[in-house]
Chain A
């Protein structure tokens, strides 16, 4: 049971490039989400999904796209990278309990945009 996995661990992009951050979970969790973590800003929700085929925007969705074609995978796409997207990105999953929604986090992707 690998839990939540993310690839790559590190990535450097040039402004304007696009890329996809991969996230997969093997716990059969319905709820998955993407956060970014910046110094002094805490964890901010980018997009989330409550099940395959269903996605919605979080607090900071601009510049990012997501899709959820399977329960296991929830990739995050950067359409045209900007220096403001330099951050550490975390994928998380949970059972989707409305009461608790306890999150299981991946190890993160550290992204630098030059």
Chain B
């Protein structure tokens, strides 16, 4: 079973601060996805990273996929209250049977205080 470990588990910061959350595994993933889940709603896909070393930007959010494709990070610049939510990383297995089954990390719960 491929596991994704996310850290920190909880993060509470003031509006305007920068932050980074991490998603790590001992296994190689063919791609990694990041989702944001707001209270009472389902997760919504933010981005998919595919190539080792890839960096993708989505406004104030910067996503990076590790060179070995075993880890990823999400950096938020100048956090805003609207960034509050649960951030989940997920990925399909590198190869083999069950490739449709995503593995999810347990998430980082972010609170941005106005």
Q: Which residues of A contact B (CB under 8 A)?
A: 4, 31, 35, 40-43, 45, 48, 50, 58, 90, 92, 96, 98-108
| Most central of A40, A45, A48, A103 by chain B CB within 10 Å | A103
Question: Chain B, interface size: which category?
Answer: 20 to 34
Complex Cα gap A64–B12 (Å): 37
Complex Cα gap A48–B100 (Å): 9
Complex Cα gap A45–B100 (Å): 11
Q: A100 touching B42 by the CB < 8 A rule?
A: no
Ordered by A's residue number, 17 sampled pairs between the chains whose C-beta atoms are within 8 Å are: A4-B42, A42-B104, A42-B107, A50-B100, A58-B101, A90-B43, A98-B92, A100-B33, A101-B92, A102-B33, A102-B45, A103-B33, A103-B35, A103-B102, A104-B45, A106-B42, A107-B42
Q: A90 touching B92 by the CB < 8 A rule?
A: no
B24 CB contacts on chain A under 8 angstroms: none
Given contacts A40-B106, A42-B105, A42-B106, contact A101 B100 (CB under 8 A): yes
A4 CB contacts on chain B under 8 angstroms: 42
B74 at the interface (CB under 8 A from A): no
Complex Cα gap A35–B104 (Å): 11
> Shortest distance in angstroms between B21's beta carbon and chain A's nearest beta carbon?
14
B30 CB contacts on chain A under 8 angstroms: 99
Q: B43 touching A105 by the CB < 8 A rule?
A: yes
> Shortest distance in angstroms between A19's beta carbon and chain B's nearest beta carbon?
20
Q: A99 touching B42 by the CB < 8 A rule?
A: no
Q: Name B42's contact: one of A40, A45, A58, A105 (CB within 8 Å).
A: A105
| Mask: chain B, 84-100; 1 = CB below 8 Å from A; 0 = not | 00001010100000011
> Shortest distance in angstroms between A80's beta carbon and chain B's nearest beta carbon?
26
B44 at the interface (CB under 8 A from A): yes
Chain B residue nearest to A110 (CB atoms) is: B40
Complex Cα gap A4–B42 (Å): 10
Complex Cα gap A105–B88 (Å): 13
Q: B100 touching A96 by the CB < 8 A rule?
A: yes
Q: Name A103's contact: one of B40, B41, B45 (CB within 8 Å).
A: B45
B7 at the interface (CB under 8 A from A): no
Chain B residue nearest to A4 (CB atoms) is: B42
